Chains A and B, each alone.
Chain A
Amino acid sequence: MKRIFKPGLLIPVAIIVVLAIWPLLSGNSASSREAMFTLIMSMALASSLNIILGYTGYVSFGHIVFFGIGGYAGFWAITELGWHILPAALLGGFMAALIAWLLGLAVLRLRGAYFALATIGILEAMKALVINLDFLGGPVGLEMHFSEYKRYGGPMESLWMVYWSMVFLAILVTVVSYYIKTSKFGLGLMAIREDEDAAEVMGVITPRAKTWAYVLSAVFPGIIGVLFFFKNGNIEPGDAFRLHFSIEWIVMIMLGGAGTVLGPVLGGGIYQWLRKTLLTSPIFKDYQLVVAGVMLLVIVLFVPTGIIGWLRARSAKLRRVFE
């Protein structure tokens, strides 16, 4: 029980919890709930990607493919088979994990830029394939009838249910991320990141460790995909497999600090908050992509370790608090 109260885990969870109850405290709860949903979803997605990207050092550029696969699997189960959202979400996570496992066996042999390119190829192949599958609605995608929400007590209740599920998932991802980082398994992953050949010599069974890291980083985007598209009411290939979206997750990780537990949580929050501010500001409305680009460039060139990495490097006291 003692480990639960480590600040390295407590701080990111506290951040998520405080943001999660914000809509209850503020008056205008519907719009702040939507804002917080985007924020918390980004944190969860960035934290998941961080497992393979930050800890293991494998740049999964097309990671959104698992979000799309899970989303499609769950959405299909809800609309075509009439499943409840809960088993559908689990199915989404399972499908994403299964495909990550199968793909991982093959593509995780590639290193560096080759792996990054392969993940882009997989994403585009999957998108092109889904466009051709008629039972998934082809290029138009699938739509959910509005009456589907009645099952959960109406649209309002459904939205809140999805919201709290997302909060739960975000906390779960953070806990998993923390336990990976502080475990022997995580140590193996970080050894792979630093020097894969050396890690292998030191007794890390690298193919197995990498595959597990890939599966773990895929399962949560799969589940989140189901929640997101259930809330959306429709799913289409363009939304489910948007390369740009998954690169945003990488930006969030880099902003907060790759390979840290708190980094993706912080980065996801800051990025989405900044994006929302820019989108609503009259001056930057048209140029939000430019601002994000400049921000990314500055981080990559001058603060490659991100906010948390930078803070950790500055003082030993912060190193003990931030994980």
Chain B
Amino acid sequence: MGNVLFTSAIDGLLIGVIYGLAAMGLTLIFGVMDVINLAHGPLIALGMFGVYLLFTFLGLNPFLAVAIVAGLGLILGVIIYFIAVNRVIDAPPLSSLLSTFSVNMIIIGVGTAMLSTSSYNVDYSLGTMNLGFFKAPGARIAASLVALLTTALLYLFLYRTRPGKYIRAVANNRISAELMGIPSTRILALAFGIGVMLATVAGGLIATILPINILAGGSYELKSFVIVVLGGLGNPLGALLGGLILGLIEGIVPVFMKTTWVPVIEYVLFVLILLVRPQGILGAKE
């Protein structure tokens, strides 16, 4: 029993890091511009298919493909920002919710027309890693490590580089940032691009370990919502913690009850945290 529990917990934590990475994209965008990106799920799915296509047709190593997908995701994010978000950035929340949702519809529409909704698989394996007390597929461990590395890079970027500091300044107070000479529109676009990049990277990493389809992003989007609320909307480090918590729940709960109860627990927790502690676990009291 103890052993089963331990293995399930580690399994959960490994996938939880990737959930956290996906949620970081959502939470970064919210933190900087108060926009909830409802195209998050389809963008995760695009990341999945980016890796799938690069791997299947160009024969690239999936982890190299993730790096390329990251670059494309950044560009796509900036484009989406200027088309769909820039005009409604100061409008009431309904506008940006709907404009990003329309992007969701467009991506899913094109995606289902071209790829159908059937399942695809990145046929890639790194063998099984055996640490004596614990066994896991190598690709899963590698994917989790890449997710951690990406998180570290994001933090270095946000805290050690000038554009990163600009992003934090704009998140803090856009008007003051503008008065200091920071080109806020460009910085917002960059932040949106990075948010989308994180989503696509997470999708790409998921593609290396799990079967994918164009609608699969939806469930990760919902998980991201739960995670960002757990960790506090707008807090990237909280998202990582939230991801780990969600991963643990998904790993451990099935040991005790039917798997179908996992989402019930997740969403009830989600609503309760919104009600009781909307600033998240890590957030300070207002």
Q: Do A and B come from one complex?
A: yes
Mask for B70-111, Cβ within 8 A of A = 1, else 0? 000000000000011001100111110111011111101110
- Nearest-CB distance from B261 to chain A (Å)? 6
Can you list 19 residue pairs at the A/B interface with Cβ under 8 Å? A114-B278, A118-B274, A120-B222, A121-B229, A121-B270, A124-B222, A128-B261, A132-B258, A254-B98, A286-B112, A287-B113, A292-B109, A293-B104, A293-B109, A294-B106, A296-B99, A296-B102, A301-B84, A301-B88
Give B84's nearest chain A residue, CB to CB: A297
The answer, yes or no, to whether A290 is at the interface (CB within 8 Å) is yes
In the assembled complex, the Cα of A288 lies from the Cα of B225 at a distance in Å of 27
The answer, yes or no, to whether B28 is at the interface (CB within 8 Å) is no
B110 contact set on A, CB distance < 8 A: 287, 290
Q: Which of A117, A291, A294 meets B36, CB within 8 Å? A: A117
Q: Do B105 and A290 have beta carbons less than 8 Å apart?
A: yes
User: Of residues A132, A254, A291, which shows the largest number of chain B Cβ atoms within 10 Å of its Cβ?
Assistant: A132
- Nearest-CB distance from B201 to chain A (Å)? 23
The answer, yes or no, to whether A112 is at the interface (CB within 8 Å) is yes
In the assembled complex, the Cα of A296 lies from the Cα of B101 at a distance in Å of 9
Q: Which of A117, A118, A250 meets B98, CB within 8 Å? A: A250
Q: Which of B91, B93, B106, B226 meets A116, CB within 8 Å? A: B93
Q: How large is the interface on B (under 10, 10 to 19, 20 to 34, 35 or more residues)?
A: 35 or more
Q: Do A132 and B106 have beta carbons less than 8 Å apart?
A: no
In the assembled complex, the Cα of A292 lies from the Cα of B101 at a distance in Å of 11
Give A193's nearest chain B residue, CB to CB: B92
Give A297's nearest chain B residue, CB to CB: B102
Q: Do A116 and B36 have beta carbons less than 8 Å apart?
A: yes
Give B86's nearest chain A residue, CB to CB: A301
Q: Do A129 and B34 have beta carbons less than 8 Å apart?
A: no
Q: Do A59 and B267 have beta carbons less than 8 Å apart?
A: no
Q: Which of A59, A250, A293 meets B103, CB within 8 Å? A: A293
In the assembled complex, the Cα of A281 lies from the Cα of B112 at a distance in Å of 17
The answer, yes or no, to whether A113 is at the interface (CB within 8 Å) is yes
Mask for A208-243, Cβ within 8 A of B = 1, else 0? 000000000000000000000000000000000000
The answer, yes or no, to whether B271 is at the interface (CB within 8 Å) is yes
A132 contact set on B, CB distance < 8 A: 258, 260-261, 264
Q: Do A113 and B95 have beta carbons less than 8 Å apart?
A: no
Mask for B183-213, Cβ within 8 A of A = 1, else 0? 0000000000000000000000000000000
Give A59's nearest chain B residue, CB to CB: B94
The answer, yes or no, to whether B137 is at the interface (CB within 8 Å) is no
Q: Do B271 and A107 have beta carbons less than 8 Å apart?
A: yes
Q: Do A304 and B95 have beta carbons less than 8 Å apart?
A: yes
